[in-house]
Structures are given as C-alpha cells and as structure tokens.
Amino acid sequence: MKVDRFILGDFQTNCYVLRADESGADCLIVDAGLDSRELLASLERDRLNPVAIVLTHGHADHIVGLEALRRRFGSMKVYIHTLDAALLSDPEANLSAFTGAAYTADPADVLLEEGDVVEEAALRLEVLHTPGHTPGGICLHAPQEKAVFVGDTLFADSVGRTDFPGGSMEQLVRSIKTKLFILPDETTVYPGHGMRTTIGRERRSNPFLT
C-alpha cells in the first residue's frame, strides 16, 4: 500500500491518499481537511482518481474540504459512521459554527458500522468503531499492511480531545484499549494530527494510557 500524507488547513489536519501500489491511479482518501486545495492540486498533477473518501469523524477540520473534492470528482463515494452522519449537516455539532464560517455538506453515500469493510481502489480497510472523541469516530485497519488510520482517536504520546459535544474520556480510553491496543505492536498508527507512531510505542509509553 502506498500512503501519501497531506497536512491541510489551519488545524494541520493529516489527510492520507492510499493506493494499492505506486503505479495505481485509483486511490482512497482518508479525511478531507479544512482546506483541500493542496490535495486537489496534487491529485490533478499526478492524474489520480479518488474513488472514495472515508471520514474518520465529523469535525470541521476533517470535513470542510469535502465539497471541493466532490465538485471535482463527482463519482467519488463518501463514507462516514452512522453516529457521525448528522454532523455533516449540523454546523454546531461539527464545530464549524464556532469558526465564523458555518459549514454543511450533503449526506454521505455510505454509512458505516463496527466490523464493516471498505473495499475501494483495490484496498481493504476494516472499520473499528472507536467512540470518545465523537460518538461515531472510527479507525481503519489494514491488517495485511500492518497499518491503522486513527483520526483523532490516538496520537503520538496523546489522545483525542473529549471536551467537545458527544465526547467522553472514559469511552475514548476504552475504545483505544479494546480496539487498538489489541493490534500487533508493529502496527503503524497514522493519526489525524502530528507524526505517525506505532501501537507498541503508545501501549508502552503514552501518558494518557499507561
């Protein structure tokens, strides 16, 4: 699997473009960022075809770039967990109302649940429901690649905020320990902000979880 990272918008959100291999044109995007112009330019320059985007949760800094991607790639499917689907159309719930630029998006094409599998662009990602940052937060596990895309659930030496509506530290810690910390130590963690890490490193030394 080829993974390219883009750091988008004022909140420095990580967006990932995934391909089965270096030569593939079809790709899957994980999160849209707050401003997707740099991502769009790269996709067009490299002649890539995003067939789907999976939103790890519904906060503004992960979804506002979505509509520009939809306008450019009209057949691209949008995935989000059932419990975060309403955030796309609710500026207060998705936190965009507090930035001075209330944002709403059209509904997602596919609503996800725990245990679902996203199969797009010759990739296979298993859906792990990891509530705590938001009720419908998810992680995407690629076991064959020893990789997991965790949104704002887990960071290097930290965890996602839980002081937004629908957040719960107790729930977040439980999600991490029961869904992520059961993965192999060598699993690479691709977070929604900051640098990548591994499951083993965070299990051993994350101060919020040890």
Q: What kind and span of H or E run contains 49? A: strand 49-54
Q: Is-contact 63 102, C-beta < 8 A? A: no
Residue 138's nearest CA partner among 188, 84, 202 is 84
pLDDT in tens, 62-101: 999 999 999 999 899 999 999 999 999 999 999 998 877 8
Q: Tell which CATH architecture fits domain 2-205.
A: 4-Layer Sandwich (3.60)
Q: What pLDDT was estimated at residue 37?
A: 93
Q: What pLDDT was estimated at residue 151?
A: 98
pLDDT in tens, 30-41: 999 988 999 999
* Per-residue pLDDT at 206 exceeds 80: yes
Q: Which of the four pLDDT bands, split at 50, 70 and 90, describes residue 13?
A: very high
Q: What pLDDT was estimated at residue 100?
A: 75
Q: What pLDDT was estimated at residue 101?
A: 83
* Per-residue pLDDT at 183 exceeds 90: yes
Residue 127's nearest CA partner among 192, 81, 83 is 81
The full set of domain ranges for the chain reads 2-205
For 94, what's the count of Cα atoms within 13 Å in the CB-facing half-sphere?
28
Give per-residue burial for 180-195: e unless 16+ CB within 10 Å, then b: bbebeeebebbbbbee
How big is the CA angle at 163 (ends 58 and 115), to the nearest 5 degrees? 45
Q: Report the predicted TM-score, pTM, of the whole model to 2 decimal places.
A: 0.97
Q: What pLDDT was estimated at residue 94?
A: 95
Q: Is-contact 83 58, C-beta < 8 A? A: no
Cα–Cα distance, 1 to 20 (Å, whole number): 5
Q: What pLDDT was estimated at residue 11?
A: 87
